[in-house]
Structure 1
Amino acid sequence: MGLNSHSFRVRYEETDQMGVVYHGNYAQYLEMGRVEWLRALGITYKSMEDNGVMLPVISLHIDYKKSALYDDLLTVETRLTSKPLVKIEFDYRVLNEAGELLATAHTVLAFMDKRTGKPMKCPDYILDKLED
């Protein structure tokens, strides 16, 4: 359901002294995947925020398989796992240019009303895009 791929090159600042990507950077890579997944759906994260919707991460799980290195071209595959209600869940695969699996991940985010700070249902305009 709803797969999107986003590629980018590892920057020097994302690596340690051995040229290996620091594990904490993967959370940012997953965020890039989610943002681009939304953009491919025709929705920007900025427009969601402008409409009073926030999407905080409430759960993050990453399994590391192989190291990503400086200057590697990485691809984050982002897949929606099910129809969103109050939460939205994604599965990810991070691959290098050779197609080797570097990491798998899963995130859960909650739709939150920016004004009240309380959970809310997935906006209809997102559900409508998913129906198309």
Structure 2
Amino acid sequence: MFQYTTKLRVRYGETDQMGYMYYGNYAEFFEVGRVEMLRSTGLTYRWMEETGIMMPVLEMKCRYLKPALYDEEISVRVTIEKMPGVKIHFKYELFNEKEELIHVGETLLAFINMKTGRPSLAPQEFLDQLKPYFE
């Protein structure tokens, strides 16, 4: 299992009149978590695209437990529970500054060959970076 945590602050423009983060912005926090998780392996989304692979989101699930509040620093924990193949499944847990679990979510992404538009296996270099976490 591979886990990575990053922190983001809820900005004013991401909130509604109650000071709660707008529900659609949680997907952006998921994306930041995924991007930073990949960067932590020494690779980047840019590298992935340069190798000819894109990763569209196929599914997203969310469960709102408590609101993320304006100016609050949110910890985004991203977990990959099994080695990816043609698809990769991410789980997310968001915690507020009091370390309370406020949100859970999941996304399923596919590895797509940009030249053919067809599903592809994850790049070997990416799998090599993840392998130690699943042994």
Q: Could you say what the CA RMSD is over the residues aligned between the two structures, in angstroms?
A: 0.7
Aligned to 1:81: 81
Alpha-carbon offset, residue 131 of structure 1: 1.9
Identity %, equivalent residues: 45
Alignment of 1:22-101 (within 5 A): 22-101=22-101
Query: Could you say what secondary structure the match of 1:6 adopts?
Result: strand
- TM superposition shift of 1:122: 1.0
Contact 2:83 2:131 in 1 (8 A): no
TM normalised by structure 2 equals 0.95
Aligned length: 132
Alignment-derived partner of residue 125 in structure 2: 125
Tell me how far 1:36 sits from its aligned partner: 0.7
How high is the TM-score relative to the length of structure 1?
0.97
4+ residue runs over 2 A deviation: none
Q: Which letter maps to 2:80?
A: L
Runs of at least 5 residues in structure 1 that lack an aligned partner in the other structure: none
Q: Which amino acid aligns with 1:60?
A: M
Which residue type is aligned with residue 18 of structure 2? M
CA contact (8 A) 2:86 2:122 kept: yes
* Stretches of structure 2 lacking an aligned partner (at least 5 in a row): none
Taking the aligned partners of 1:72 and 1:114, their CA distance within structure 2 comes to 38
